[in-house]
Structure 1
């Protein structure tokens, strides 16, 4: 096989059409969008780095979306406008647009309140977010446990988190205790409520943790049980106690689960640093089979 002449190589290379890379929108094209674009086209532009790749351009799109329909003609138009502003990173603008329209009761009000919650949550306006969720169920907070919000997030958990973020820990605890307290989910909820109430109601917090531990054990959720015991130990020590009972239970469970790190944390002086071992040696993961006995708390 002979060599290909260099002039021929250059000719062949010059004949290859390079792939066209996307280019940022020109100022003229962007101005045309602002002048004549629809809500949908501007929402799409907000997501396109070639169209709105600078903070200035994105802000101009937000401003235009906020001004495009100062007096909305319909509920659907209001929702499209509010959704576009949320997509464009302006939850405050979303709230302003929503406030221009009073929804009818029923499905309109439900959809209006859901996007109002999204906007408030995105803006970290926990007061308005909590208010929107309470209005969504007309104050029947327990029914939020059956609602899945965007994210996805459980409605009841979301309301409790908003109340806690406002510093209303008692209200947050009351919300969470109205939900399903069975299984792993219920165990986690009891643990969270215990953490919120520990400073003001330590005895109730400890009772909640005991119930959470029982539920975790009955579901063999040992990782969760470890977390709950660590929380119980932390809260008892913070309250001035010795934490002896949760410490003993934590040590026992950690030993049963071969959790050397937790054992080292609990007794840094008496437990030497663990040495590396082959996975095929006794205790290595390759030798681990199905356990026939459950750990005990």
Structure 2
């Protein structure tokens, strides 16, 4: 019996079984120890449908077989010419992603444009994934904006997978923050600010977004950055995020000086908060360049200990994990 007389699914199972024999100590989901046999691969490339080609792509990607990957990509881009049902297009596009061909994935996805509903959502998410992998920021931003459908706030609740941890679990980020990064990569700071302000998130995350919006607005010559930073400081204080509060005050000091101010108020507020937290590293940063405070700077430098000891520059981190403390009135 020749190899071409066997069903492809049987051949694929046989190839995996031969590559990684299973026993009670073997995880059946563990990757094969050997790549797909050449004869099996050749028949898949010649006669395989999209699912079999997807399996071959995963195998070639796992073992870094670049020639096979290229051959499989070429096959996948031509296997299902338009028009095709939605399910076929999506399966084709997903197989190309497995084959590490995000640009070709975008080409296949462009063959359809589903109507609003679950199919359009799946299409847009895969479109973003392909554009993001291709570093095609314009198309990635477009996909997310289409997903928002005119309401950017919904992106705050849309968690997208951006990678996988060492434990194999997905790493996710809010689509809103990803859209901000795409807009910044496109040098569209004004658009990024609008997205950040649409987040309407409270706590430390909201404060970080407002801080970034304030910095971008200052770069755009907009005087609203002071108001945004004050709002961010209020949120950081309410969340007991004192390390973030210090970062925000540093940013406020930087922006004030850049605008031609003396930076006196944010400097004083930062100093009071650092004293409250016993953050001697920040206090040293504030006085080290002041010729009138060289004695204090030298003393603080001598007192600085290991970051993990009291008084060191990890004091703020300790405060963040400690029980809530009241906000000093002078910080306000």
* TM more than 0.5: yes
- Rate the CA distance shift 1:60–1:234 in 2: closer, same or farther, 3 A: farther
What residue in structure 2 maps to residue 5 of structure 1?
none
What residue in structure 1 maps to residue 262 of structure 2?
242
Kindly indicate whether the alpha-carbon contact (under 8 Å) linking 1:233 and 1:243 is maintained by their aligned counterparts in 2.
Answer: yes
Kindly indicate whether the alpha-carbon contact (under 8 Å) linking 2:137 and 2:183 is maintained by their aligned counterparts in 1.
Answer: yes
In the alignment, is residue 91 of structure 1 matched against residue 102 of structure 2?
Answer: yes
What residue in structure 2 maps to residue 159 of structure 1?
179
What residue in structure 2 maps to residue 212 of structure 1?
232
Inter-partner Cα distance in structure 1 for 2:181 and 2:39: 46
What residue in structure 2 maps to residue 81 of structure 1?
92
Cα-to-partner distance string for 1:147-191 (whole Å, 9 max, x where unaligned): 333332323222222222211111111122122143223212211
Which residue among 104, 109, 130 is the counterpart of 2:120? 109
Inter-partner Cα distance in structure 1 for 2:61 and 2:140: 33
Kindly indicate whether the alpha-carbon contact (under 8 Å) linking 1:264 and 1:273 is maintained by their aligned counterparts in 2.
Answer: no
Which residue among 127, 132, 138 is the counterpart of 1:127? 138
Inter-partner Cα distance in structure 2 for 1:93 and 1:281: 56
- Rate the CA distance shift 1:179–1:292 in 2: closer, same or farther, 3 A: closer
Inter-partner Cα distance in structure 2 for 1:41 and 1:99: 23
Cα-to-partner distance string for 1:72-125 (whole Å, 9 max, x where unaligned): 531011111111212222111111111122323322222111211111122121
- Rate the CA distance shift 1:274–1:28 in 2: closer, same or farther, 3 A: farther
Q: TM-score, normalised by structure 1?
A: 0.81
SS of match in other structure, 1:22 = coil
Kindly indicate whether the alpha-carbon contact (under 8 Å) linking 1:229 and 1:250 is maintained by their aligned counterparts in 2.
Answer: yes
What residue in structure 2 maps to residue 274 of structure 1?
303
Kindly indicate whether the alpha-carbon contact (under 8 Å) linking 2:36 and 2:56 is maintained by their aligned counterparts in 1.
Answer: no
In the alignment, is residue 146 of structure 1 matched against residue 166 of structure 2?
Answer: no
Inter-partner Cα distance in structure 1 for 2:157 and 2:69: 37
- Rate the CA distance shift 1:292–1:114 in 2: closer, same or farther, 3 A: closer
Aligned residue pairs, count:
278
What's the offset of the Cα at 1:52? 4.6
In the alignment, is residue 188 of structure 1 matched against residue 208 of structure 2?
Answer: yes
204-213 vs 134-143, which moves further = 134-143
- Rate the CA distance shift 1:26–1:223 in 2: closer, same or farther, 3 A: same
Inter-partner Cα distance in structure 2 for 1:177 and 1:62: 41
Query: Cα RMSD over matched residues?
Result: 3.2
What's the offset of the Cα at 1:294? 2.6
- Rate the CA distance shift 1:130–1:195 in 2: closer, same or farther, 3 A: same
- Rate the CA distance shift 1:36–1:186 in 2: closer, same or farther, 3 A: same
What residue in structure 2 maps to residue 36 of structure 1?
47
What's the offset of the Cα at 1:295? 4.5
Q: TM-score, normalised by structure 2?
A: 0.73
SS of match in other structure, 2:223 = helix
